[in-house]
Every structure is written in structure tokens, then in C-alpha cells.
Structure 1
Amino acid sequence: MKYGPAVRRRKLGAELRALRDRAGLTSGEVAQLVGWHQSKVSRIETGASSAKPADVGVLLDAYEVRDPQRRALFEALAGADGDGAARHQWWHAYKGLLPPEYRDFISLESQACRVRTLETAVVPGLLQTPEYARAVTRAALDGLPEGQVDELVQVRLARQDVLRGDPPLELSAVLDEAVLRRPVGGYGVMGRQLRRLVEVAQLPHVSLQVLPFAAGGHVGLTGPFLIFSFPNIADLDVVVLDHLTSSLYLERKEDLKAYTEAFNSLQEQALSAEDSLEYIAGIGDGA
């Protein structure tokens, strides 16, 4: 979709409908107020049609939503390119390089207040060193010209700014031991990456837990996943499952419940954050 995936379209519609209800207006009254046909209001609220950023701005004005941060989040859900969301749109400079799915993922990540992730193969992108990111990119996209590899690494590093924001993104990650044992880029690169994990894990808004091989079977064996949570808008959590050529977004309440429970279970099976740091440092010393 031009203005974002179905998950954001439906979430945006539901929130706009809630704002209309709180304003005490019917869809017909809103349509008359802004000069639209009632069916347009209904299509936006049900997610049947994409909402252009300008249309969202018109509705927010009608509902007297003035808070700039809240407006920026609504506009970002509609794929805003305007000045109000400019600080969240740095990735547009790489539009010719990044597929729409990746751009949309970055957009969600930039607006999230919390991320919970299970990784079973590689270090989370937000925690990768430049040389580790380069090695992962080369392995995943074999044959890509060196210039494009450089740009993709730049994108990966730019994404990490969310951890230095105000407020910073809250990151909770459970890492399968295989992530730490696989020498991506060679043992020197991996050793420096492990030391980077120990360093970042000491930040108050970052929590890393290791799921050791000794834990045996666990729900995460089905594959990695990520859960985005957002501020200011209720019930906006999204589960993301990454595949080789695309990402799957899950938004149903039952899916969110299942993956939230799975993540909680994995945290219970994993080493504590303190023990995990020692575990990572121990593996790093031997790398």
C-alpha cells in the first residue's frame, strides 16, 4: 500500500474512530464538517482505504488534537512525508535502495517506545557493530555491489539512534546462545561484537538475556520475532516476523497475546540479565 501496510491502516482507522467518538460526532457530521462524503470517513475508519497524511491532518483538526507529538504519530501511521514528521523520515534518502517493507519496518521502529525481540541467529540490528553489520549484509545479500553494502550498513547504524533518543527506545532482547557462538565475520569481528553487547546491555533502557543451549527446547524454536509497542495510542502493539524476502505483520489480539506470552516464557527460561552479561563476556573472552 502506498501509505503503509494493512496493519497500520486498520490501527489508524480505529484510533481516528475513537477520537471521533470522544468528540461526540457521527461520521456524517464529520463528513459535513470537513467537506467529504460520509463514505470516505467510513472507509478510513474501517481501514478499507488508505488515509493520506493530509487527510489525517484534516481529521485531527476536526477532533481538536493539538499535541504535536501525538499528531506526528498519527501522521506517521499514514506514512507522512511532511515537515511534522521530518525527523522520523531520514530513511527516505535511501528510498531507491530500501524495499518498501524495510522502509515501513524502520518507520514503525522509529515511532515505537518499546521493542521486545527474540533472536535465534544474529545479533539484533540495533546492537550491531559496523563490521558485524557489514558481514551480515554480505552474507544475506551475496553479490551486492560494495557501494550498496556501505549504504545498507549506514542505514543499520542510523537506526540505532532510537536508543539514544529522548526518551530512548526501551529494548528487551532474548538471544539464543547460537547468536553468540556463530562467528559472523570471523572471530575478531565476533569478539568485538560481544564486547559491544556487554557495553550496551548496561544502559538502563536495554535488557539482554541469553537463552543457553542447556535450556533445551523452547517456544522460540519456531523462529525469531519482534513486538513493537507505541506511546499515546492504545492497543497498537504489532508482532513482526521476518522472512528472507518480506516481513509479516500480526495485529490480531490473539496473536499479540500468544507472542507476548511466548516472550514472557522465554525470559523466564533465559538467564537473568546479570548472569547473561557474565555469560556473554565469558564467550567474548574466548573469541
Structure 2
Amino acid sequence: MGWSGSAARLPRVPGTDPPTLSPTVGRRWLAQEIRRLREAAGLKQTDVAKRLRCNPTKITHPESVRTPVGGPDLEVLLPFLGAPAERVEWYLRVCDLAREKGWWDGDRSIPDWFSLYVGLGAGASEIRCWDTGYVTGLFQTAAYATALLDNPGAVEARLRRQEALRRDDPLVVHAILDEAVLCRRIGGAGVMRGRLDHLGALAGLPGITIQVMPFDAGGHRGHLGSCKWLGFPQEGDPGAVYLENQFGGWFLEKPEEVAVFQADFAASAALAPSAEDSAALIAERAEEVR
């Protein structure tokens, strides 16, 4: 059984709450902590390599999301990096959680390059997305996803990702859709009506904000293409921006890069009609295809 999105939690530390943790988010958080501790100690990666008696190329692994550090190496690293003694067990427990398998690991319907996004999305606390071509995956109906993907396994995986909206601490989503997304006919009139009705229903749920950028809005930064920002519950984490094209997906995580996306998204949200007016536009488009 893979990680379901409700069982794994960061161990409790006095004065903190244990946020839900997907293994992928755990690996990301642990990698950030190792890098933070190393930089605070004034050490280079080569210094750490000497302490672990390993090839310098291997020392990039502890600071990598894709190749998590092992428990034995972490036990050696933490004192060397100056981690407080009372936090050592916390870090080791996170290491154990981070090495668990998520339901997306090994799923053949999920490309390797997309698996990282699925894992991070499963443990994100907030997502902000701008979409120009299709309804964002978290908001797709089964019929719409089937028309897009024509792959039952991929459809099942996409619908399973939507479980994040039904967690005990549900994912907060702010989506801005280009009006073209509402008008593009995919799968026939019935599928189109279904997805518009579904969007209308989602728009009324707590934690979900849907805005539609109308054709007459004029020029805006959203014309640069679809993108998503994933926010995480760990304090001080700026989140990550996810971009995708025909060849795969990649992340922008430097604070200055994330800040540009945040500014562009805020400007688009200010330009687009309110969530209430957008819901009215979605309902209007749904009536046109009945």
C-alpha cells in the first residue's frame, strides 16, 4: 500500500504542529534542511564528502529531492552540521517517512518526469495555477480527462490526485483560467457541459477560488504560458513553480524566481473578474451548450 495522503505526518516537536507529509515533500524538506545546516556551518559540499568518506559527486545526493539521504549517513551528518541534539530524532523520523513509497511511485501511467510533481502536489498545502489550454487536472471530470488522455490508467491517476481536495486539511487552490478553456470543445457537448457544471460546483467550495480571464482583458503576463506554484506547510519555504512542455516538466525554486511568479499571478488575479463574476461567466457558458 502506498502513501494515502492522511497517515504520514512530521513527528511532533514541542511548540509545533505536525503537518501532513507526503514522502516527496519530506525528501524536499529534508534536502532543504541539510543545505541550510551546511551553509549555516560555513561548510562546502566537499567538506561534507570528506566527513562521509565518499566521492564528492555523491554529496549532492543529501541535498537532492530525487535521491534522499539514508539514515546512517544522516546520523553522521547531523552532528557534523551542528544540528541541535534534541532535533536529531526529529530529522531521523522525517528521513524514515521520506523513504516511504507514495501511491504514484511505480505507477506506469505516470511518466517519471511527472512523478515528482504528483508527489509534491500530494503534500502541498496550497496551489496557485494559471491555465491557458485545459482545465487544471485537480478540477477535471472523469469524462473530460478521458477525452484528453485516452489512457484509463492515466485518468485514474489524475482523479486520484484530486483526493487532496478532500483531505482532513484540504488543499487550498486558487486557479485562474483563460476564457478559451471554457470555450474549447473537447469530448463533445455533454463532456463540455459536465466540466462547466463541475467547475461551477467547485467554485462554491471553501478553499477553492476560480477566476476566469476574459477575452477582453487585454494583454497580461499570463500570455507567457500555463504554470503552477506549489506551497508547502514548512515555515520559510517559498514553494516551487512548476512548468511543463512537450518534453517534460521542471521546477523553479530560487526565491527570486518564485517571487516573479507570485507577482505575475497577483497582477493577473487583480485584472481578472472576481470569483463571483467568474462563476456567473462559467454558468453562462454552460447554458450556451445545453
Q: TM-score normalized by structure 2?
A: 0.75
How far 1:124 moved relative to its partner?
0.5
Aligned positions of 1:114-153 closer than 5 A: 114-138=126-150, 149-153=151-155
Write the deviation string for residues 140-166 of structure 1: whole angstroms up to 9, x where unpaired.
Answer: xxxxxxxxx111000000000111112
The aligned residue for residue 143 of structure 1 is none
> Are the aligned partners of 1:173 and 1:209 in contact in 2 as well (CA < 8 Å)?
yes
The aligned residue for residue 200 of structure 2 is 198
How far 1:104 moved relative to its partner?
0.9
Query: Of the candidates 104, 110, 118, which is equivalent to residue 91 of structure 1?
Result: 104
The aligned residue for residue 254 of structure 1 is 256
The aligned residue for residue 52 of structure 1 is 69
Q: Sequence identity of aligned pairs in percent?
A: 32
> Are the aligned partners of 1:113 and 1:169 in contact in 2 as well (CA < 8 Å)?
yes
The aligned residue for residue 167 of structure 1 is 169
Q: Structure 1 202/56 Cα, relative in aligned 2: closer, same or farther at 3 Å?
A: farther
> Are the aligned partners of 2:61 and 2:69 in contact in 1 as well (CA < 8 Å)?
no
Question: 2:204 is paired with a residue of what secondary structure?
Answer: coil
How far 1:93 moved relative to its partner?
4.8
Q: Could you tell me how far apart the structure 2 residues matched to 1:17 and 1:278 are? A: 47
Give yes or no for the alignment of 1:37 onto 2:53: yes
Report the residue type matching 1:90 in the other structure: W
> Are the aligned partners of 1:116 and 1:173 in contact in 2 as well (CA < 8 Å)?
yes
Q: Structure 1 81/58 Cα, relative in aligned 2: closer, same or farther at 3 Å?
A: same
How far 1:16 moved relative to its partner?
1.7
The aligned residue for residue 108 of structure 1 is 120
Aligned positions of 1:221-236 closer than 5 A: 221-236=223-238
How far 1:208 moved relative to its partner?
0.4
Q: CA RMSD in A?
A: 3.5
The aligned residue for residue 4 of structure 1 is none
Write the deviation string for residues 170-225 of structure 1: whole angstroms up to 9, x where unpaired.
Answer: 11100000000111111110111011011111111111001011102111111100
Q: Could you tell me how far apart the structure 2 residues matched to 1:244 and 1:75 are? A: 35
Write the deviation string for residues 22-79 of structure 1: whole angstroms up to 9, x where unpaired.
Answer: 8x89899x97xxx8338879645666994435457647976425559x954x667xxx
> Are the aligned partners of 1:43 and 1:49 in contact in 2 as well (CA < 8 Å)?
no
Q: Could you tell me how far apart the structure 2 residues matched to 1:224 and 1:242 are? A: 8
How far 1:18 moved relative to its partner?
3.2
Q: Could you tell me how far apart the structure 2 residues matched to 1:262 and 1:59 are? A: 43
> Are the aligned partners of 2:227 and 2:244 in contact in 1 as well (CA < 8 Å)?
yes
Question: 1:257 is paired with a residue of what secondary structure?
Answer: helix
Q: Could you tell me how far apart the structure 2 residues matched to 1:193 and 1:48 are? A: 35
Report the residue type matching 1:276 in the other structure: S
Query: Of the candidates 15, 33, 36, which is equivalent to residue 15 of structure 1?
Result: 33
Q: TM-score normalized by structure 1?
A: 0.76
How far 1:238 moved relative to its partner?
0.9
Write the deviation string for residues 73-103 of structure 1: whole angstroms up to 9, x where unpaired.
Answer: x667xxx442xxx5xx011251x33221111
Q: Structure 1 60/157 Cα, relative in aligned 2: closer, same or farther at 3 Å?
A: farther
Structure 1 unpaired stretches of 5+: 1-7, 139-148
Q: Structure 1 97/58 Cα, relative in aligned 2: closer, same or farther at 3 Å?
A: farther
Determine which structure has the larger helix proportion and give its number.
1
> Aligned residues, how many?
255
Give yes or no for the alignment of 1:180 onto 2:188: no
> Are the aligned partners of 1:119 and 1:175 in contact in 2 as well (CA < 8 Å)?
yes
Structure 2 unpaired stretches of 5+: 1-25
